[in-house]
Amino acid sequence: MKLKFPAIVAAATMLAAPAMADLVVPNMSYRTGPYAANGIPYADGFSDYFTLLNERDGGIGGQIVQVPECETAYNTEKGIECYEALKSQNPLVLNPLSTGITYQLIPKIGVDGISLYTPGYGRTSAKDGTVFEWVFNAPANYWDGASVAVKHILDQEGGDLSGKKIALVYHNSAYGKEPIRTLQELSEKHGFDLMELPVDAPGQEQKSQWLQIRREKPDYVIMYAWGVMNQVAIQEAVNVRFPMDHFIGIWWSGSENDVKPAGAGADGYKSLTFHGVGQDYPLYADMKQYVHDAGKASGAGDQMGNVLYSRGAYAALVIAEAIAKAQELAGTAEINAAQMRDGFEGLDITAERMVELGLPDFGAPIKLSCENHGGDGLGRIQQWDATAGQWNLITDFIEPDAEILDALVKEDSQAYAAEAGLTPRCN
């Protein structure tokens, strides 16, 4: 009996842990808790993309990708516990899908030498690779989003925003406050008034904010929200008859979950996105054949094609391309975390490559470097069609205002470097 027990433990450990030669890309998911409705499709898309590569292509460079899942429940403490547990499995990169967890992990990953990939969330100034060696946030960040929204409004208003009023309705947290400085700078540049309206989490009660909007009649509302705050804000906007085509959410306020509860009233609501919508891409045919029809889909297998599923799959795609680049640079398929970081810095996903991957025009080209960990920050506007029950892309990719943003990113990253005692790299 004494001999049997360690043998069982060893066997169980071997089953639980990925084989040494495999590429390990954990899925830090949240399938429970207040944000599960958003966490589930993202986690499914992320896992399913790697399942597709494993089933169709035999992995990446002949190496199977293992995607161990760890439940964070969108809770920072649990996220840190996941990180500590996953660390022993030699992960190549982590994508925690939480700005709070990202902020906590940034100092740790520098010490442990593991990359963080935070597309569209996390610390914006991590775009500066000279300071944030291990963090990548391409293709776009929160400040890019604010700038793209203002550019779209400029376009709607014939290029002149002087005398206009834009309200920012935001989640009263580090995430929600991210665009404030950018919008303040942009309001000075373009001459619009900025109205700031914080909403305390979780955001089920927003009557005060929307009464204020009704009284002060801003021309546009930009929203940075998450979870139930999205659904309530869109419903309140419908209630006060705010014109939905003048209401623009960040990409975390633009999934089917956010608009469906408001029914027909949500028709015309806009949000930012940094990727395509729907399933009309060749990749999804493969996803159906090799993953869903084969019974290998993650979760209930009922999320394919929705916004957050696509975003999860897109995050996996960027990571997969970085792995391939890392293998190419290292000259071996069995890469380690340091080589993975090099892969990210050498990443170059062109429009032609997106066609090869079965996602033509799905995402803007991404070219990273030692200095640039955030890409070009391009975003598009999607609009909800309540009758058809689908999002439609209504603009091409829009460039953010680099003149304003580059300086802000530099200022913030330099402050972090001074605080953390870091010497800028890439010289």
Burial of 1 (0-12, 13-18, 19+ CB in 10 A): exposed
Q: Which residues contact 387 (CB under 8 A, 6 or more apart)?
A: 264, 267
Total of chain residues touching other proteins, rule CB under 8 A: 39
Kindly state whether residue 199 participates in binding other proteins, applying the rule CB under 8 A.
yes
Residue 372 DSSP one-character state? B
Q: Contact between 215 and other proteins (CB under 8 A)?
A: yes
Among 56, 155, 188, 204, binds other proteins (CB under 8 A): 204
Site for other proteins in 11-40 (CB under 8 A): 31-37, 40
- Residue appearing with tokens 């000075």: 188
Which of 189, 208, 243, 415 touches other proteins by CB under 8 A?
A: 208
Distances (CA, A) of 5 to 17, 19, 115, 179: 18, 22, 37, 55
Q: Does 217 bind other proteins (CB under 8 A)?
A: no
Cβ proximity to other proteins: between 52 and 232 the closer is 232
With CA atoms as reference, report the closest residue to 245 among 264, 266, 225.
266
Q: Is 172 in the site for other proteins (CB under 8 A)?
A: yes
Is 165 a binding residue for other proteins by CB under 8 A? The answer is: no
- Residues paired with residue 66 on neighbouring β-strands, in sequence order: 24
Could you say which of 61, 68, 261, 424 contacts other proteins (CB under 8 A)? 261
Asked if 67 touches other proteins (CB under 8 A), the answer is no
Is residue 197 involved in binding other proteins (CB under 8 A)? Answer: yes
Residue from 90, 104, 184, 235 binding other proteins (CB under 8 A): 235
| Nearest distance in Å: CB 249, other proteins | 15
**Interface pick for other proteins out of 189, 207, 367, 425 (rule CB under 8 A):** 207
Q: How many CA atoms lie within 13 A of 190 on its CB side?
A: 26
Number of neighbours of residue 367 by Cβ within 10 angstroms: 13
List the one residue out of 57, 138, 157 whose CA is nearest residue 315.
138
Q: Which is nearer to other proteins, 144 or 236 (CB)?
A: 236
Q: Helix 142-156 to helix 180-190 angle, to the nearest 10 degrees?
A: 30
What is the smallest separation between the CB atom of 31 and other proteins, expressed in angstroms?
A: 7
CB nearer to other proteins: pick between 37 and 101:
37
Burial bucket for residue 422 (CB in 10 Å: 0-12, 13-18, 19+): middle
Nearer to other proteins, 225 or 317 (CB): 225
Closest-CA residue to 376 (of 363, 359, 385, 362): 363
Q: Quick check: 100 and 94 in contact, CB under 8 A?
A: no
Residue 260 is a binding residue for other proteins (CB under 8 A): yes
Among the residue ranges 88-96, 100-108, 260-268, 409-417, the one whose residues contact other proteins (CB under 8 A): 260-268
Summarize as ranges the residues that interact with other proteins (CB under 8 A): 31-37, 40, 172, 196-200, 202, 204-205, 207-209, 211, 214-215, 227-228, 231-232, 235, 238-241, 257, 260-261, 263, 265, 300, 302
